[in-house]
Structure 1
Amino acid sequence: VDFLLEKNPELAELKSDIGSTALHMASREGHSEVVRVLLKRGVDQTAVDKSGYTALHLATFYGKTQAAAVFFESGPNELVNRRVNSGHTPLHMAAQ
Structure 2
Amino acid sequence: MDAAVLLCQAGADVEARSRIGSTALHRAASEGHANVVAFLAEQMGASVHAVNKIGNTALHAAVCARQPAAAAELIRAMRGDGIHARNNIGMRAVDYADGCRDLQTLFDGP
TM-score, normalised via structure 1 length: 0.89
Give the aligned residue type for 1:31: H
Q: Which residue of 2 aligns with 1:64?
A: 67
SS at match of 1:80: coil
Please point out which of 1, 4, 7 is paired with 1:4. Answer: 7
Question: Quick check: 86-95 or 18-27, which moved more?
Answer: 86-95
SS at match of 1:86: coil
Give the aligned residue type for 2:9: E
Task: Flag the 1:49–1:75 CA change in 2: closer, same or farther, 3 A.
Answer: closer
Q: Report the number of matched residues.
A: 95
Please point out which of 80, 83, 87 is paired with 2:83. Answer: 80
Matches within 5 A, 1:1-96: 1-10=4-13, 12-40=14-42, 41-73=44-76, 76-95=79-98
**Contact 1:56–1:79 (CA under 8 A) maintained in structure 2:** no
Q: Give ranges in structure 1 of 5+ residues lacking alignment.
A: none
**Contact 1:13–1:21 (CA under 8 A) maintained in structure 2:** yes
Task: Flag the 1:75–1:51 CA change in 2: closer, same or farther, 3 A.
Answer: closer
Give the aligned residue type for 1:86: I
Cα RMSD of the aligned pairs, angstroms, is: 1.6
Distance 1:18 1:75 in 2: 23
Give the aligned residue type for 1:32: A
Task: Flag the 1:75–1:27 CA change in 2: closer, same or farther, 3 A.
Answer: closer
TM-score, normalised via structure 2 length: 0.79
Structure (1 or 2) with the larger CA radius of gyration: 2
Give the aligned residue type for 1:68: A
Task: Flag the 1:64–1:50 CA change in 2: closer, same or farther, 3 A.
Answer: same
**Contact 1:28–1:59 (CA under 8 A) maintained in structure 2:** yes
